[in-house]
Amino acid sequence: MNPNFADRLASEVLAKRSQVCVGLDPSLDRMPAALIERYSNASAQGCGCGRHEIAGCFEEFCAAIIDAVAPHAVAIKPQLACFEQYGPPGLKAFKHLCNHASRAGLLVVADAKRGDIGVSAAAYSAAYIGRPQGFVAPIANLGADAITVNPLFGSDGMQPFLDDCSRYGAGIFVLVKTSNPGSAELQDLLVSDEVPAGGAVARAESRAGGAVAPGQTPRKFHEKVASLVDEWGIGLVGDSGYSSVGAVIGATHPEELAGLRKMLPKSLFLIPGYGAQGGGAGNVAAAFDSRGLGALVTASRSIIYAGQGEDFATGAAEAAERMRSELWQQSRES
C-alpha cells in the first residue's frame, strides 16, 4: 500500500514549516548569461538546431534551483509546456528534473493540465502518476507525485486519474479557477444542473424561463466543478483529513478562495499566481487550517529569477525562504 499523497504532503509541510511549491517555468530569454554562452557555443558546434542544448541549459538551471530551494520548499511544479516545446530532449530534461527533485526530498507536481477521455485519459495518467503498460510488466512513469488535470470532460475522463491516485499513492489537482484575467469568461458563468431535453430550439420554445430553478442559488461554473472535486476526492481522504484530489485556485482570486475553502473542507488547494502574478500572503491565508495544512502555494518567476548572474541559485534560495516565512506566519495567524 502506497502512502496517501495528501498525507505525504502534510508530513513534509509540518516538518519543514513550509507550504511553498516552486514553479519551474524556464524560458530561454531569462537564462543566466553564463549558461546561455556555454550552451549556445555548444549548439553552434553541434547540429545547430539547439534543441538538445536548450534542454540541457534548462536542466542545469532547474537542477541548481531545486538544490537551492529544497530546504525551504516542500514541492516543485515543473511546467510541461516549457519543456515540451523543445521536443524529446525537453521531455528528457523534465524527467531528469522530476527524479532530481525526488532525490532532494521534494514532491513533484507535474503542471501538465492534461485531460482526455477513455484510454487517452488513462495514458496521460500512466505517463505521470501511473505505470504505462510494458512488454512483461508495467514500467516506470515520468516521475511525478501529482499532476494538474483539466476537468472539462467530466467524471468518466477523471476516473483513470482517480484510479491511479488509489493504486500508487499519487495526487491530482483539478483546475477549478485559474489565475489568468480571462478565467471569468467561462469559469464564472452562472450555471444550472438541469439539462433539458431537446436542442436549443426546443429550449427556446419551452417556458423554462431560466437556467436556475426558483429558490435555487445560482452558482458559477467553477463552483460546479468544485462540487465534483469534492465528490471525486471522497475515497482518497487520508489521515491528515485532506484528500489526494485537490483543486487549482489562483491566488489572484482571494474572495473565491475563501468561498471555495468553505465548499471544499477536505481538498488540498494548489494556489498559483503568488508573486509575479500579483497574489500575496494575505490573499491565500483562508486556504489554510489552524495547523497550517490545506494548501500548496506556488511562485515561479519571482523565485527562480530572483537571483542574477552566477548567483542565481542563492537568490532563489533567499526568495523561497522569504516566501516560506511569510506564508507560514500568515497561515498560522488566520
> Which residues, 83 to 122, sit near a second copy by CB under 8 A?
84-89, 91-92, 95, 111, 113-121
Helix, coil or strand: residue 307: coil
Among 2, 81, 311, 333, binds a second copy (CB under 8 A): 81
Q: Is 127 one of the binding residues for a second copy (CB under 8 A)? A: yes
Largest CA distance in the chain: 72
DSSP structure class, residue 233: H
CA distance 219 to 217: 6
DSSP structure class, residue 216: P
Q: Which cell numbers in the block locate residue 108?
A: 513533484
Instruction: Tell me which residues in 60-79 interact with a second copy (CB under 8 A).
Output: 79
Question: In the complex with a second copy, which residue's Cβ is closer, 15 or 190?
Answer: 190
Instruction: Tell me which residues in 139-168 interact with a second copy (CB under 8 A).
Output: 139-142, 150-157
Instruction: Tell me which residues in 268-327 interact with a second copy (CB under 8 A).
Output: none
Among 14, 35, 104, 211, binds a second copy (CB under 8 A): 211
- Of the ranges 6-14, 102-110, 185-193, 319-327, which one interacts with a second copy (CB under 8 A)? 185-193
DSSP codes, 36-94: HHHHHHHHHHTTSS-HHHHHHHHHHHHHHHHHHHTTT-SEEEEBHHHHHTTHHHHHHHH
- Of the ranges 46-54, 161-169, 237-245, 315-323, which one interacts with a second copy (CB under 8 A)? 46-54
Using an 8 Å Cβ cutoff, are 82 and 58 in contact? Answer: yes
Question: In the complex with a second copy, which residue's Cβ is closer, 15 or 189?
Answer: 189
Q: How far is the CB of 9 from a second copy (least distance, A)?
A: 23
Which residue is catalytic, options 113, 177, 220, 266? Answer: 113
Q: How far is the CB of 78 from a second copy (least distance, A)?
A: 11
Question: In the complex with a second copy, which residue's Cβ is closer, 1 or 201?
Answer: 201
Among 5, 39, 242, 288, binds a second copy (CB under 8 A): 39
DSSP structure class, residue 79: B
CA distance 132 to 123: 7
Helix 33-45, helix 51-69: angle, nearest 10: 150
CA distance 134 to 191: 43
Instruction: Tell me which residues in 5-24 interact with a second copy (CB under 8 A).
Output: none
Q: Which helix (H) or strand (E) holds 202?
A: helix 200-205
Catalytic: 77? no
Neighbours of 254 (CB within 10 A): 18
Among 17, 71, 104, 221, binds a second copy (CB under 8 A): 221
Q: How far is the CB of 140 from a second copy (least distance, A)?
A: 7
Q: How far is the CB of 16 from a second copy (least distance, A)?
A: 27
Q: Is 200 one of the binding residues for a second copy (CB under 8 A)? A: yes
Using an 8 Å Cβ cutoff, are 189 and 263 in contact? Answer: no
CA distance 194 to 212: 8
Q: Which cell numbers in the block locate residue 118?
A: 477513455
Residues annotated catalytic, as ranges: 113
